[in-house]
Amino acid sequence: MLNMSRRRQRSPLHYPLTPIPYPLPMLTDAQRKHLRRLGHDRDPIVLVGQGGISPNLVAELDQALSHHELVKVRARVGDRDLRDEILGELAARTGAELVQRIGHVALYYRANPEKPGILLPA
């Protein structure tokens, strides 16, 4: 009689691999949590409309990040995939880290090397 209770062991290589996000995130989970707490009470400074990304919008976000380091952006775009693409493109063009995205609102962080205003936990 065969023992049917034993299952064949699968090698870890048979399981699907999780993709590694590139570029690798520069913030730890504790730092993200700290930034989310600081950004909770802030109002959106930059608003993205139906026109999408323009050079003026990128310049405005770049200037806001230079002054505030932590900036909320509201993207009023109907399509979710387009909104995610716009928010990712803004992070790439400004060199900022997308800390959090909830609905239409995203929180960006970029440290000011000359005059840091936000101290991050180690």
Q: Comparing C-alpha atoms, which of 115, 30, 117 is closest to residue 71?
A: 117
Q: Are 105 and 87 in contact (CB under 8 A)?
A: no
- Each residue of 12-69: pLDDT tens digit? 434 444 443 444 458 899 999 999 999 999 999 999 998 889 999 999 999 999 999 9
For the chain, report the end-to-end CA distance as a whole number of angstroms.
60
* Sheet arrangement for strand 97-102: 46-48, 70-75, 105-109, 97-102
- In the chain, domain spans: 41-110
pTM of the predicted model as reported, rounded to 2 decimal places = 0.77
Which pLDDT belongs to residue 50?
A: 86
Which class would CATH give 41-110?
alpha beta
